[in-house]
Chain A
Amino acid sequence: MEMVVVAPPASGKLEDLKRRFFATPLQAVVSLLSLSVIVFLVWKLLNWAVFSAVFDASGGADACHAASGACWSVIAARWRIIFFGLYPYEEQWRSALACVTVVAMTVLSCIPAFWTGRRIALVWGLGAAVFYVLMKGGLLGLSFVGEEMWGGLALTLFIFVTTCLIGFPLAICLALLRRSELPWISRTTGLIIDGVRSLPLISILFTFAIVLPFALPQWLQGDKLYRVILGSALFFSAYQAEIVRGGMQGVPRGQEEAAMALGLSYWHRISRILLPQAMRNALPATINQFVISFKETSLVVIVGFFEILASGNAAYGTGEWRFAYVEVYAFIALIYFVFVFSLSRYGAFLERRMSVGER
């Protein structure tokens, strides 16, 4: 048998690369092959997206037909539809400002300095009011724009944020009710949670948008948009409730006993001892749920709302740009990515921050 000569640990990046990818002839071949495939794909992509692409909208759709690459001019020409849907053209600055408000509100409430009840309530109360007045108008000299005209990114953000805003407290209530010591309360809550979870979101949205008006008196119906938001919040809360309950199960029994022994009331035990620790345990799954909910807002198209994805369809849907759907979807994917990626990075920040107490 041959002696295996162990090379001394190589220093430097080049040596390291050599050891990882070119250790044996076979490995070298596989590495080179993979590398050439990657280079080829990246070149094709760059060629399509950048080098042969048309960026200038002035040539119109015809300029794109002549070029072999991507037709970004569709974005330049139709971005207003993607962002604002059917919102009246003259008033679209209001929709843009409303989007900025939601983003600002979310960013503010992600900053630890704002994590007191009063500040969070102030940020959200004020933000919601500004958003609503901007979008709907009808006062302060702003013209009235009904909910059926809302669309695009503003609508997606509105549905997502309100879903979470209603769904999250509801989820905590459901999770607390489910661990009630009274069996009829915990069983009923369990039944509700399991019932909602066993239904597809589409059927819930459909029920709330189309079927509910037949069952409810006129004054209770509200606008279709708010019924849809309630439906999606209910769906969100059923899943989130189980996530919170899982988090609660991870908090040792002794924590609550210690809080009881100190004389803390039920609500103080829940709000100061149980929930903070449960939410820490539940954080990764919670971020996951937020991400899923953000993407699921696209389902409201089936009840006739033009959120960002449906607005995108409308953007290329006219005859002139019909060929440019790939570019539109790529652009919308980028927007989704920006929001979802920020969300997950924020989750990672929270995890790091919360692990301070652990060790």
Chain B
Amino acid sequence: MTVPTTQEIAVRVEGMSKYYGTFHALRDINLTVARGEKIVVCGPSGSGKSTMIRCINRLEEHNAGSIMVLGTELNDDVGNIDEIRREVGMVFQHFNLFPHMTVLENCVLAPMLVRKMPRVEAEAMARRYLEKVRIPEQASKYLGQLSGGQQQRVAIARSLCMQPQIMLFDEPTSALDPEMISEVLDVMVTLASEGMTMICVTHEMGFARRVADRVIFMDAGEIVEEAPPEIFFTSAKSERTQLFLAQVLGH
């Protein structure tokens, strides 16, 4: 594997650790993600995969080691945190859309407040992204009128409206009814094909096979295995990975 230059590095995590009180949630995480790379993170629940990606935009604070995002060090400097959050989008398991606003208002809020974009411009852009996630007709609706799959696609559009360079996905399909999973994955596949840098925590192994450049397996707060999907799914080195894959792919 060639070592990417600083310019090409989107995220570099070195020796990162995280504690909840005395519980060691993340142990010595090392991860480098190049621009345009798609990473899928999997592992049993409680393995720290969500916590890890939440550290990348400082929804969780790491206690040791360093995180560099797009060349900016993530530390207590609020300016740095704001800068990184502007460039890193995130999609949550439970969508976390703002229920007191319409779909369109959800999408234009951050561009207008954070990027100081005029409303007309922001709305035009929001409509473009809503079209991209295939729900342009829902713009003036409130969330209660939307299905889970539609809500998650709105959430993706909302993140994209900030025109981020990196997208984090935290189990984006885990809260969805089975028939709605593919409509969300389709949007993610399109996004990947356009060259977005993506770090996805997901149990969708089909998506991992199809899209990921690298699959990362985590267990008990550690990165256990890291490999391209074709190798990961056929010849995983660690026993823990093999056991997990047997459980996930078993049926």
- Whether a CB of chain A sits under 8 angstroms from the CB of B121 is no
A-B contact pairs, 15 of them (CB 8 A): A252-B96, A254-B94, A257-B59, A258-B155, A260-B85, A261-B89, A262-B89, A263-B162, A264-B114, A273-B98, A277-B100, A280-B100, A354-B100, A357-B99, A358-B142
With A357-B100, A359-B144: A261-B94 Cβ-Cβ less than 8 Å? no
Cα distance A261–B169 when bound, in Å? 12
**Contacts A258-B92, A359-B144; A264 near B113 (Cβ below 8 A):** yes
Assess whether B85 is in contact with A276, with CB atoms less than 8 Å apart: no
A356: Cβ under 8 A from any B Cβ: yes
Contact of A254 among B82, B96, B100, B159 (CB under 8 A): B96
CB distance from B51 to the nearest CB of A (A): 13
Additional 11 contacts, C-beta under 8 A, given A263-B114, A265-B82: A257-B59, A258-B97, A261-B88, A261-B92, A262-B85, A262-B109, A263-B82, A264-B114, A276-B100, A357-B99, A358-B144
A272 proximal to B (CB < 8 A): yes
Chain A interface, number of residues (Cβ within 8 angstroms): 23
Per CB-CB distance, the 3 closest pairs between chain A and chain B, nearest first, are A258-B96, A262-B110, A261-B90
Report how far A265 CA is from B83 CA in the complex, Å.
11
| Contact of B57 (CB < 8 Å), options: A261, A358, A359 | A261
- Residues in chain B near residue A358, CB distance under 8 A: 99, 142, 144
Give the distance to chain A from B102, nearest Cβ to Cβ, in Å: 8
CA distance A26 to B85 in the complex (A): 73
Residues of B within 8 A of A276 (CB): 100
Within the complex, the shortest CB–CB distance from B163 to chain A, in Å, comes to: 11
Closest to B54 in A: A257
Tell me whether A295 is interfacial, beta carbon within 8 Å: no
The CA of A357 and the CA of B162, in the complex, are separated in Å by 24
A255 within 8 A of partner (CB): yes
Enumerate chain A residues within 8 angstroms of B142, measured Cβ to Cβ: 356-358
Complex Cα spacing A280 to B101, Å: 13
Across-interface contacts of B58 in A (CB, < 8 A):
260
Contact with A along B150-163 (1 / 0, CB 8 A): 00000100110010
Tell me the nearest residue of chain A to B91, going by C-beta. A261
Judge whether A277 and B99 touch: CB under 8 Å.
yes
B143→A255 contact, CB < 8 A: no
Could you tell me if A255 and B96 are in contact, using CB atoms closer than 8 angstroms?
Answer: yes
Interface residues of A in 271-308 (CB under 8 A from B): 272-273, 276-277, 280
Set of chain A residues within 8 Å of B214, measured between Cβ atoms: none
Q: Does A345 contact B (CB under 8 A)?
A: no
Distance to closest chain B CB from A266 (angstroms): 9
Task: Check if B62 is an interface residue, CB within 8 A of chain A.
Answer: no
Q: Which residues of chain B are within 8 angstroms of A44 by Cβ–Cβ distance?
A: none
B88: chain A residues within 8 A (beta carbon): 261
Residues from chain A with Cβ under 8 Å of B85 in the complex: 260-263
Q: Is the CB of B97 within 8 A of A263?
A: no
Question: Which residues of chain A have C-beta atoms less than 8 A from B109's C-beta?
Answer: 262, 264, 272
A303 to B232, CA, bound (A): 80
What are the residues of chain B within 8 A of A262 when measuring CB–CB?
A: 85, 89, 109-110, 114, 158-159, 162
Asked whether B59 lies within 8 Å of A261 as measured between CB atoms, the reply is yes
Q: Does B38 contact A (CB under 8 A)?
A: no
Give B155 Cβ to nearest chain A Cβ, in Å: 8
CA distance A190 to B98 in the complex (A): 29
B101 in contact with A357 (CB, 8 Å)? yes
Chain B: minimal CB distance from A252 (Å):
8
A180 to B: closest C-beta gap in Å: 16
Contact partners of B92 in chain A: CB under 8 A: 254, 257-258, 261
Considering only residues 147-180 of chain B, those with a C-beta below 8 Å from chain A are 155, 158-159, 162, 168
What are the residues of chain A within 8 A of B97 when measuring CB–CB? 258
Report whether B144 and A357 are in contact in the complex, using a CB–CB cutoff of 8 Å: yes
Residues of B close to A356: CB separation below 8 A? 142
Residue of A nearest to B90 (CB): A261
Which residues in window 181-230 of A have CB below 8 A to B?
A: none
A19 interface residue per 8 A CB criterion:
no
Q: Does B86 contact A (CB under 8 A)?
A: yes
The answer to whether the Cβ of A268 comes within 8 Å of any Cβ in the partner chain is: yes
Chain B residues lying within 8 Å of A357, measured Cβ to Cβ, are 99-101, 142-144
CA–CA, A129 and B109, complex, Å: 35
Knowing A261-B57, A356-B142 touch, does A272 contact B96 (C-beta < 8 A)? no
Q: Which A residues are in CB contact (< 8 Å) with B162?
A: 262-263
Query: Which residue of chain B lies nearest to A256 when distances are taken between CB atoms in the complex?
Result: B96
Set of chain B residues within 8 Å of A273, measured between Cβ atoms: 98
CB distance from A138 to the nearest CB of B (A): 44
Chain A nearest CB: distance from B196 CB in Å?
Answer: 16
Q: Collect the chain A residues with CB atoms within 8 Å of residue B89's CB.
A: 261-262
